Amino acid sequence: MNENAFEVRKVAVIGTGVIGNGWISRFLAQGLEVIAFDPGEGAEQRTHAAIQQAWPSLVHIGLAENASADHITFVETIEEAVKDADVIQENVPEREDLKKSVLAEIDRFAKPEAIIASSTSGIMPSQLQEDLQNPGRMIVAHPFNPVYILPLVELVGGQKTDQVTIERANAFYSSINMKPLIVQKEIEGHVADRLMEALWREALHLVNDGIATTEEIDASIIYGAGLRWAQMGPFLTFHLAGGEKGMRHMLEQFGPALKLPWTKLEAPELTDELKEKVIEGCETHAGESSVYELEVKRNEFLVKLLDLVEEYWHEPMETAK
């Protein structure tokens, strides 16, 4: 571990839209110094407004000792932004040609040992790094909006990414209070966006086919799956739906539904191998906890979460009144 010890003090943020500004707020709250670059008119002002908006949440979550909303400097060129940075976070619009040309410029001026991270939500790192001089230090680090609150960051290395870069990135993003998910294989959309996109596409079909309105669909998630997913995600949620025998029973009971026209998406064949992967995954995650014990925890969580939902959201469904 020691040889990977890698101290981050300065972070460059290239591109300051919603995602770039989210990163800036998180970095500042963690006591880092930020150098920002964005060619858009009024960018600096928008960034300060965004930091203002984010700050109360960050105070609530807890600021680092030396954190300051003022530790940010806007500069005029990418060169100036990246030349002293330990980590460079790229957040320009999601167009491959644009990202590649910006990354090439970053690559030209960054310190050799700096990490160059792209926030891309869909493009595979191997494509982004193919023309870089020093591609080993380039990685995808894909966050979720609002970046200053949500802990998930997907780390995806490309064919040319060095292992040490993945390890350093993992250590760095963990150190700023995030939950890195190291994605084992490159794929368009990584992991989380593929899941969101599947739900999103089906939701668009439902609206398109006149089955439900956007508000009804939101309500169907909020008051059903959303509450459960916030705690346990889709797999462990179904593990609990299986009763005492967990996922094994669940797959016996609802496995056949994969063949039904319940979505426009075709499911994979539920082979014995896939079944075992899923069952074993859930049992490993559950660890020592029985389904009963997990249910007790779930119930306490859900009751409190429901209170929170009631407190923070206006009634989204008229029918319920």
Pick out residues in 132-151 that bind its own copies (CB under 8 A). Answer: 144-146, 149-151
Pick out residues in 269-308 that bind its own copies (CB under 8 A). Answer: 270, 274, 277-278, 281-282, 284-285, 287, 292, 295-306, 308
Q: Contact with its own copies (CB under 8 A): which of 31, 80, 191, 245?
A: 191
3-state SS of the chain? CHHHCCCCCEEEEECCCHHHHHHHHHHHHCCCEEEEECCCCCHHHHHHHHHHHHHHHHHHHCCCCCCCCCCEEECCCHHHHHCCCCEEEECCCCCHHHHHHHHHHHHHHCCCCCEEEECCCCCCHHHHHCCCCCHHHEEEEEECCCCCCCCEEEEECCCCCCHHHHHHHHHHHHHCCCEEEECCCCCCCCCHHHHHHHHHHHHHHHHHCCCCCHHHHHHHHHHHHHHHHHHHHHHHHHHHHCHHHCHHHHHHHHHHHHHCCCCCCCCCCCCHHHHHHHHHHHHHHHCCCCHHHHHHHHHHHHHHHHHHHHHHCCCCCHHHC
User: Residue 143 and residue 75: Cα distance in Å, rounded?
Assistant: 24
Residue 278 counted as an annotated binding residue: no
Residue 224 counted as an annotated binding residue: no
**At 263, which amino acid appears?**
T
Nearer CB in complex with its own copies: 126/263:
263
Tokens 């500042």, residue? 28
Nearer CB in complex with its own copies: 94/131:
94
Nearer CB in complex with its own copies: 116/169:
169
Nearer CB in complex with its own copies: 160/249:
249
Closest distance to its own copies from the beta carbon of 315 (Å): 9
Residue 233 counted as an annotated binding residue: no
Residue 18 counted as an annotated binding residue: yes
Nearer CB in complex with its own copies: 4/213:
213
**At 62, which amino acid appears?**
G
Tokens 């994979």, residue? 268
Pattern 239-268, its own copies, x by CB under 8 A: -xx-x---------x---xx-xxxxxxxxx
Nearer CB in complex with its own copies: 77/299:
299
Closest distance to its own copies from the beta carbon of 7 (Å): 20
- Using rule CB under 8 A, residue 192 touches its own copies: yes
- Using rule CB under 8 A, residue 98 touches its own copies: no
Tokens of 33: 């110094």
Tokens of 41: 């008119």
Pick out residues in 156-175 that bind its own copies (CB under 8 A). Answer: 170, 174
- Using rule CB under 8 A, residue 194 touches its own copies: yes
Q: Contact with its own copies (CB under 8 A): which of 84, 104, 231, 245?
A: 231
Pick out residues in 37-96 that bind its own copies (CB under 8 A). Answer: 53-54, 56-57, 60-61, 93-94
Nearer CB in complex with its own copies: 73/253:
253
Residue 263 counted as an annotated binding residue: no
Residue 17 counted as an annotated binding residue: yes
Closest distance to its own copies from the beta carbon of 288 (Å): 10
Among candidate residues 158, 165, 159, the one with its CA nearest the CA of residue 137: 165
Number of residues binding to its own copies, judged by CB under 8 A: 126
Give binding residues as ranges.
15-20
Give binding residues for NAD(+) as ranges.
15-20
